[in-house]
Chains A and B, each alone.
Chain A
Amino acid sequence: MKRSVANPASLPRRHFLAGASGLGLAGLLGASSWPAWAGGLIELPFANGRRELVTNFPQKGAMILQRTRPPLLETPFEVFDQGVFTPNDRFYVRWHLPNIPTSIDPANFRLKVRGQVRQPISLTLHDLLHDFPPFEIAAVNQCSGNSRGLFSPRVTGGQWDNGAMGNALWRGVRLKDVLDRAGVGAGAVQVRFKGLDTGVLPQTPDFMKSLAVDHARDGEVMIAYEMNGEPLPLLNGFPLRLVVPGWYATYWVKMLEDIEVLDKPDDNYWTSKAYLIPDTPGANVTPEQKGVKMVPINRMVPRSFFTSLTDGAAVGRGQTLNVRGIAFGGDTGVAKVLVSADQGRRWQEALLGANYGKYSFRQWEFPLRFATAGRQRLMVKTVNAAGVTQPDRPNWNGGGFMRNVIESIAVEVS
């Protein structure tokens, strides 16, 4: 893959050229050698992959700029090596519509529940904090199109590397408890969620997503008012966000303000026409394939990554390294993580870190000794609690959704 022009071979591919962390090349060469980009540049491993590292978004540290308006901000991958929970100020950001409220006063905020209910209700944040039992769950939030930039052939959309995901401890109330307060009607079919964001043009459909009633009432889907022990950053959905454990983030509606219980399937644009995947194993088709049945994207699939080594990293011969990474099982827990240093012929089980629940990232570690000099390929895959593992070959679909191919990196042993 492409390397940055200024990136010496000894630096891994995702190394920051001039990161705000001070780890970048700019620190070695002196700032005067570099143009005045706000936070430096980073080269993602696909064509047209040069991105600015920016620090000018509210409540956010250094993030990879994918789009300014509406904001798309990617988490630099090094963050995932720092712990199993992604810090709020490094958590990726993805908005669909440009009119995002920039000032929110919780004193005036109301969450409405209406539609096919016994009694429509309007809840304050105080109501949510004091009238419902608190509920906590650790869960991965991953964009449907995470890793879209790695699709081949390329597809249009946000050109993410692997950082459109994050793991947080979400605290709030069960959606079931809120729905039960309003009383779901007998004819209810789906529950539709809407946030405060809107389009500029009146013709632009409001961003809304729906879940089946039974899913909405499963006792795990929740309304979060905190992530990692703090209120959500505004760009991650302050003051309330829907959390749908095990499902792609398109359902995790931000700035949630309106819940409508429907007596027929939702036909709004974002639920019925956007975020559709081919109804095939792994959402996998060929670019030429036509007439495939399309269905709304839903459960996540398992993934695992190296975090302590990046592609192209230099390692010493004879050295034993504790290679480290993260994994998640998708819609269920991680059963095991397997590492291969011989092109996938032999897979060895990694040691798993603390278990924060089946929807969380799980850290893994594996000691590897590099006996011979030269280029060596390392692979990692996870098997989830349902026995589902990652495919040997990347999937493809026109939306650039659900990539979860086995990850591999090269290391240079010398």
Chain B
Amino acid sequence: MSIGSIHRDSGLRRYAVMRTIPVALAGLLVVGAPHLRAENTGSSPEKTAKQSDAHWSKVSVELPTSLTPFPAGEGAVIANAQCLICHSAGMVLRQPARTQEQWKETINKMRSAYGAPLPAEQVDALAAYLSRLISDGKGS
């Protein structure tokens, strides 16, 4: 099983869902009728199993990537080097306003629970940066 397109550097890539043509047609026959299916649970298992079998073709997709870096500022270099290893910046930028102490707690959880390789001596600087970055009334 391949694992791909995690560290892409270009944004908004088109995705492709690759299926054979007959399967795509079979898919169309049942799509859009979930309500009917709900009341139709008595259908013969063999028939439904065959229909289900037709769905089982390979699925390949591409996931979009985020190009958004952390905004410039003291501490941005740390944020870009550390936070982006595991998640895009948007998750951080969409948080509510928090104090430096609250951010320290979160950063330390990232270090202890998830193994972020952030040196202890950078925690304060990163927490200060994040608390400045998102303050009340900003970013909304």
A39 to B42 alpha-carbon distance, docked (Å): 41
A234 to B65 alpha-carbon distance, docked (Å): 16
Closest partner residue, chain B, to A201 (CB atom): B115
CB-defined contacts of A106 to chain B, threshold 8 Å: 56-58
Closest partner residue, chain B, to A59 (CB atom): B17
- List residues of chain B with CB under 8 Å of any chain A CB: 1-6, 12-13, 15-17, 27, 30-31, 33-35, 37-38, 41, 45, 48-49, 52-53, 55-66, 68, 85-88, 90-91, 94-98, 102, 106, 113-117, 134, 136-140
Total A-B residue contacts, Cβ distance less than 8 Å: 188
7 contacts across the A-B interface (CB closer than 8 A): A48-B94, A83-B34, A101-B1, A129-B53, A129-B56, A156-B102, A231-B56
CB-defined contacts of B98 to chain A, threshold 8 Å: 156
Using known A-B contacts A58-B17, A69-B87, A103-B4, determine if residue A169 contacts B55 with beta carbons closer than 8 Å: no
- The minimal Cβ–Cβ distance linking B98 to chain A, given in whole angstroms, is 7
Complex interface residues of chain A between 45 and 97 (CB less than 8 A to chain B):
46-51, 54, 56-59, 65-72, 83-85, 87, 97
Indicate which residue in A65, A100, A168, A234 contacts B59 across the interface (CB closer than 8 Å). A234
Are B88 and A58 closer than 8 Å at their CB atoms?
A: no
Are A129 and B49 closer than 8 Å at their CB atoms?
A: yes
- Is A105 in the interface zone, CB < 8 Å from B? yes
Are B38 and A169 closer than 8 Å at their CB atoms?
A: yes
A226 to B33 alpha-carbon distance, docked (Å): 13
Are B95 and A156 closer than 8 Å at their CB atoms?
A: yes
- The minimal Cβ–Cβ distance linking B140 to chain A, given in whole angstroms, is 5
CB-defined contacts of B33 to chain A, threshold 8 Å: 229
Are B62 and A201 closer than 8 Å at their CB atoms?
A: no
- Identify which of A132-140, A246-254, A288-296, A342-350 touches chain B: A132-140
Are A133 and B115 closer than 8 Å at their CB atoms?
A: no
